[in-house]
Amino acid sequence: MEKTEGGVLSGIPPSGLALTLTRSTIRMDHAPSWWIDKSNSVHDLVIALEGAGDYRIDEGEVFRLSVGEAMLIPAGTRFRGRHAEGEAYRGVAQHFTLDLFGRDLVARMRLRPKLRFQDWDLLRPMIRRYHEIAPPSSTTLAQHHLFMVLLLAFLEEAFLGWRADEAPIGDDNRVSAAAAIAATQIAADPLDPQIARRVVASAPYNPDYFRREFRRQTGFTPRKFQEFKRMERAMALLEAGRGVGEAGAAVGYADPYYFSRMFRRYIGVSPLGFKESVRRRREGRFPHGEEDGQPFFPLPRPPR
């Protein structure tokens, strides 16, 4: 099935996420004599634009970072690097922290240490722009927002799974973070019939307590959040031109009438009504109050 969602981080509430650029961007322009041996107290995302560098992380194997590739060096990790190829090894390196409800989100993720961006042709000009606008001794708002785009692109491709959370039970920030991560797991695979049950069972909390916290964070119980995410996938398929029955079957509903009923329950409009709203937006004809062509779903329900 084609990709129709934001990926593994799509369930995380933006209000709970805090990105901090802890120093100005390192505008890499390394000559053949360049080498480094150090560790940082924060995470470091390195992206190669020209040439190549060889790196050893802790005492692991040496790998080469080439054009279009990126690596994340976790906080507190020793790394050694040297120039490997080309007249100059150029790129950007950014020190940062990324917290979810006050706790390090990156440290809770299992990530590939290195990857080549699948959308390199799209990201290359953004990274070059990031390199160009970076001031030598400070950070800017534009830089902050652009780096968030680059960091999320890396995390989505590098993500392998979540690490076990061993923090003490009873920490309010911890349960909020656990609920947000559970939401990302459901959002990433809403067609798995057991996903809602598994995220509740795997949380280190009383199931009823965790369901209440999950609902406080998302507005849904885990099972209903899963249904809503299935409907979001159906929305993308309907917008792409699929028929009602075809979209319903693709998200797990064999009966198109039942699918239509559930779609209306969660989105606030029937599948055919949604397709009609898509058509109106494309033609530039919006109902009063929707002149921007972007109604918010699910639609508010009238008071009873």
Mean pLDDT of 65-87: 94
Question: pLDDT per residue over 210-263, tens digit each?
Answer: 999 888 888 889 999 999 989 989 998 998 889 999 999 999 999 999 999 999
pLDDT given at position 16:
74
- Please, how many CA atoms are within 13 Å of residue 180, restricted to the half-sphere of its CB? 21
pLDDT given at position 53:
95
Over 50: is that where the pLDDT of 304 sits?
no
pLDDT given at position 284:
61
Q: Which residues contact 117 (CB under 8 A, 6 or more apart)?
A: 68, 69, 70, 123, 153, 154, 157
Residue 158 lies in a domain: yes
pLDDT given at position 302:
45
Higher pLDDT, 303 or 104: 104
Residues 206 and 263 in one domain: no
Over 50: is that where the pLDDT of 166 sits?
no
Mean pLDDT of 188-195: 89
Residues 58 and 127 in one domain: yes
Residues 136 and 25 in one domain: yes
Mean pLDDT of 295-299: 56
Residues 178 and 158 in one domain: no
Over 90: is that where the pLDDT of 183 sits?
no
Alpha-carbon distance of 45 to 155, in angstroms, equals 10
Residues 88 and 36 in one domain: yes
Confidence of residue 169 (pLDDT cuts 50, 70, 90): very low
Least confident of 258-267, 268-277, 292-301: 292-301
Residues 135 and 238 in one domain: no
Over 80: is that where the pLDDT of 13 sits?
no
Q: Are 91 and 49 within 8 A, CB to CB?
A: yes
pLDDT given at position 179:
85
Measuring CA to CA, how many Å separate 211 from each of 82, 166, 249? 50, 20, 28
Mean pLDDT of 124-140: 84
Residues 45 and 143 in one domain: yes
Residue 249 lies in a domain: yes
Residues 89 and 150 in one domain: yes
Alpha-carbon distance of 201 to 196, in angstroms, equals 9
The total of structural domains in the chain comes to: 3
Residues 87 and 55 in one domain: yes
Alpha-carbon distance of 120 to 91, in angstroms, equals 14
Residues 21 and 98 in one domain: yes
**Helix axes of 120-133 and 141-158: crossing angle, nearest 10 degrees:** 150
Show the domain range for 35.
14-162
Residue 1 lies in a domain: no
Residues 106 and 213 in one domain: no
Mean pLDDT of 139-153: 89
CATH code at 117?
Answer: 2.60.120.280
pLDDT given at position 165:
54
Residues 54 and 99 in one domain: yes
Confidence of residue 151 (pLDDT cuts 50, 70, 90): very high
